[in-house]
Structure 1
Amino acid sequence: MFIEPSLAGGRRGWIEVICGSMFSGKTEELIRRLKRARIANLKVEIFKPAVDTRYDEMNIVSHDENSIRSTPIENSQQILLLAQEVDVVAIDEAQFFDAELPNVCDQLALRGIRVIIAGLDMDFAGNPFGPMPALLAKGEYITKLHAICVKCGHIANFSYRKSQTKDTLLLGEKDLYEPRCRHCYYEEQ
């Protein structure tokens, strides 16, 4: 389905994707970009999956405890309904959303909206996670962040799950996950 781009006032939208492993600073970077957008007097709407209540039910909160107000939603289609007359739409924990999220982001960008997405690019098993591969393919700007491997100190690209649970969706923090480099991740698989 083609949607006519909104070029009123020459405004063009785009998609920015911030990805990486757990503890790499994705949410911190998302919050930093949103604060700068607000300094520029841009109207910002922020969304997160309703299922993610680890730190707060409403706010997006980084591991460093920086936070920003967001709207928890059940599915990506709600973003189209709630993001009216905005300059920037931000989406945290994008890997937990449905497969329609890339199309929703396309529609927003075609409306002239800057879309900033943060999420895990791989799940605990090292596989592409949810809608993230499609978002990475569609994004104009990609930022891949790395954590530090807790075993050897090299850059970490993997989210190692300490639990034997095989469910893809298992919300947790340092109690259940730790960042690992490729070598240390596969060493214990």
Structure 2
Amino acid sequence: MFIEPNLTGERRGWIEVICGSMFSGKTEELIRRLKRARIANLKVEIFKPGIDIRYDEVNIVSHDSNAIHSTPIDNSQKILLLAQDVDVIGIDEAQFFDDEITHVCQQLANRGCRVIVAGLDMDYLGKPFGQMPYLLSVADYITKLHAICVECGNIASFSYRTGAGDQQVLLGEKDVYQPLCRKHYFDKTHS
């Protein structure tokens, strides 16, 4: 990603969205970008939804156990209160946040912050998930990551739910979800 140099000294903000299916490396990429921002001596604040306690109650943890400290919150407006005088804001699992998350990200970017958001772009039914479509529409930079289909080894864009239940939000890992390519997702959901 090329970012124009700012020679005037004024802070310019933007929104980066990292999206994809389960097991595509979204959190890993978010952590990588945030750690690089810290190496550059930028002030970084990181947030995750309070309901995501799969690996840790506080830290953001990727599937391969990379971790970074975060602040769990239950309301996206709290980000505005807690992210004062920061350069970079990281937000994981954005699909789980309330309807205000897009507005919050825009306010932060307008303040001059670099906002990096990661989340599932589709739910297990293959439908747009939560506020992610809105975040994608206002993002300055978008990175779509792909997993590997467990059936054939091609790129996977879909999160297939293997377990029972029809609620949209069901936290789980490989015991509940599999990454599948379009063909195998279609085959399993239409058989």
Q: Secondary structure at the match of 1:10?
A: coil
Q: Report the identity percentage.
A: 72
The whole-number CA distance in structure 1 between the counterparts of 2:108 and 2:9 is 16
Trace 1:4-19 onto structure 2 (pairs within 5 A).
Answer: 9-19=9-19
Structure 1 residue 107 and structure 2 residue 107: aligned? yes
Residue 164 (structure 1) shift = 2.5
Map of 2:140 onto structure 1: 140
Residue 9 (structure 1) shift = 3.8
Map of 2:174 onto structure 1: 174
Residue 134 (structure 1) shift = 0.3
Structure 1 residue ranges, 4+ long, deviating more than 2 angstroms after superposition: none
Map of 2:28 onto structure 1: 28
Q: Secondary structure at the match of 1:150?
A: coil
The whole-number CA distance in structure 2 between the counterparts of 1:163 and 1:28 is 25
The whole-number CA distance in structure 1 between the counterparts of 2:48 and 2:13 is 20
Trace 1:56-75 onto structure 2 (pairs within 5 A).
Answer: 56-75=56-75
Q: Letter of the aligned partner of 2:161 in structure 1? A: R
The whole-number CA distance in structure 2 between the counterparts of 1:99 and 1:22 is 22
The whole-number CA distance in structure 1 between the counterparts of 2:35 and 2:50 is 22
The whole-number CA distance in structure 1 between the counterparts of 2:60 and 2:179 is 21
The whole-number CA distance in structure 1 between the counterparts of 2:118 and 2:20 is 9
Q: Secondary structure at the match of 2:178?
A: strand
Residues 3-49 of structure 1: per-residue CA shift (max 9 Å, x gap): xxxxx941100000000000000000000000100000000000000
Could you tell me the TM-score, scaled by structure 2's length?
0.94
The whole-number CA distance in structure 2 between the counterparts of 1:36 and 1:172 is 29
Q: Letter of the aligned partner of 1:31 in structure 2? A: I
Map of 1:5 onto structure 2: none
Residue 173 (structure 1) shift = 0.2
Q: Secondary structure at the match of 1:178?
A: strand
Map of 1:150 onto structure 2: 150
Q: Letter of the aligned partner of 1:176 in structure 2? A: V
Map of 1:3 onto structure 2: none
Which sections of structure 2, spanning at least 5 residues, go unmatched? Answer: 1-7
Could you tell me the TM-score, scaled by structure 1's length?
0.95
Q: Letter of the aligned partner of 1:137 in structure 2? A: S
Q: Letter of the aligned partner of 1:45 in structure 2? A: E
Q: Letter of the aligned partner of 2:92 in structure 1? A: D
Q: For the aligned residues, what is the CA RMSD?
A: 0.8
Map of 1:39 onto structure 2: 39
The whole-number CA distance in structure 2 between the counterparts of 1:42 and 1:105 is 18
Structure 1 residue 163 and structure 2 residue 163: aligned? yes
Q: Letter of the aligned partner of 1:119 in structure 2? A: G
The whole-number CA distance in structure 2 between the counterparts of 1:25 and 1:147 is 7
Residues 62-120 of structure 1: per-residue CA shift (max 9 Å, x gap): 00100000000001000000000000000000000011100000000000000000000
Q: Letter of the aligned partner of 2:114 in structure 1? A: R
